[in-house]
Structures are given as C-alpha cells and as structure tokens.
Structure 1
Amino acid sequence: MPALGEDIFMAAGLGKQRLYIVPSRDLVVVRFGWTLTNLFSDQESLKRIIGQSD
C-alpha cells in the first residue's frame, strides 16, 4: 500500500481482524470485526481512516 505511506505495518488475523500501525501519522488501528464475506478491503479501509481519496 505505498500510496498510503511507506511505513504502514499490518498484522492479519482470522475473520479479517487487522492491526495497522502507521508511525508517520502516530496512528494505530485495531479491527476486531468478523467478516464472513470477502467484501472487506484493507486498502479501502485505510484510505477512509487516513482520509485519502483516489
């Protein structure tokens, strides 16, 4: 996800659980939600959190 920053770190868990760390923005995001479909997108979610658009 270079478009969102060069320093994004992610850990992925079961059911699309996620941990994102973005040091340049002093940001840590934890997603505990359970997703039964493949509609979740890491890149789209981070764009919304960070506030970037295409």
Structure 2
Amino acid sequence: MPRSLKKGPFVDEHLMEKVRKARETQSRKIIKTWSRRSTIIPEFVGLTFAVHNG
C-alpha cells in the first residue's frame, strides 16, 4: 500500500546524515544501510547504496 501524499516521503534520519556526509566530501564510497523502509529521494541520485535484505 503506498504512503499518503499528504505525509510525504519517509527517510530515516541516520541515512540522510550518511548522504549529507557523502555529498559534502564527494565520496564515491558505498553507503551501507538496513533501512529498507526509506524512500528514494532526488538527493540519493548518483550515490551507491548497499541495502541489507536478510
């Protein structure tokens, strides 16, 4: 079931912090996360994520 439009996308705060650091340092390192519930937002474009699936 999709998330309500009035609520907006959900992104874990710790994941956003990792993205901010990667953007500031221009790091090409893979970002590891266990946050499967987070929505992909435009700030994530160009970064590589390793999402835990198990």
Fold similarity call, TM over 0.5 = no
- Structure with larger RCO (C-alpha < 8 A, sep 6+): 2
TM-score by length of 2: 0.25
Q: Which structure features the higher share of strand residues?
A: 1
Structure of greater Rg: 2
TM-score by length of 1: 0.25
